Amino acid sequence: MKEKILLIGAGGHTRSCIDVIESEGRFSILGLIASSEEIGQTVLGYEVIGTDNDLGRFRKECKNAFVTVGQILNPEPRRKIFELLKSLGFEIPLIVSPIAYVSKHSKIGEGTIIMHHSMVNSNVQVGNNCIINSRVLLEHDVKIGNHTHISTGALLNGEVSVGDFSFIGSGSVVRETIRIGSNCIVAMSSKVFRDLPDHSTYKIST
């Protein structure tokens, strides 16, 4: 029998996560946690069954939960939900699409999702509660911090590092060995040729 899992969120990223979770086949989705106004609504056939205030009650019947709130400009909602789930004793699994490739020589943290057609190469390290979105390439020795989103189609070459709470936009390319700090935003389709300190916002597309 599949273990049950609660999903925290009910938006667009939740729909993408549902597809990966269904494809992976390890869990049965108990329901979604969202705002009180959304209770009773459904997302891809799964009902919103409560709010954050109900999580303690649901923990009694479901030990697994997963953050499916998206992240672009603000990582705080995902971080706060992750820490709330941990404080309530939930297990927050690693979710990997069956049509992604993750090297056995990589290390991926809890609560991270590796989405369809992504590639995680040898000796890559990814922290907790990250989104490695569809068609991302993380080349050898890349290091990603906690609560960071690498968006669709981004390409991080060998030995790149990205800190905590950062966002790398869709289609961006990061040159080998580049260091990107924490709380950084790299805009869609950027080409990153230099190191970026903490709290940087960056866009170079030519």
Active site residues per annotation = 140
- Residue 146 carries which side chain, given as an amino acid letter? N
Tokens of residue 166, six digits: 């950062």
Annotated ligand binding at 70? The verdict is yes
Distances (CA, A) of 40 to 17, 33, 48, 59, 137: 20, 10, 5, 20, 38
Q: What angle do CA 148, 154, 157 make, to 5 degrees?
A: 95
CA-based nearest residue to 12, from 97, 90, 72: 72
Say if CB 162 and CB 147 are below 8 A apart. no
CA-based nearest residue to 80, from 9, 19, 186, 16: 9
Beta bridge partners of 96: 114
Specify binding-site residues for acetyl-CoA: 149
Specify binding-site residues for substrate: 70
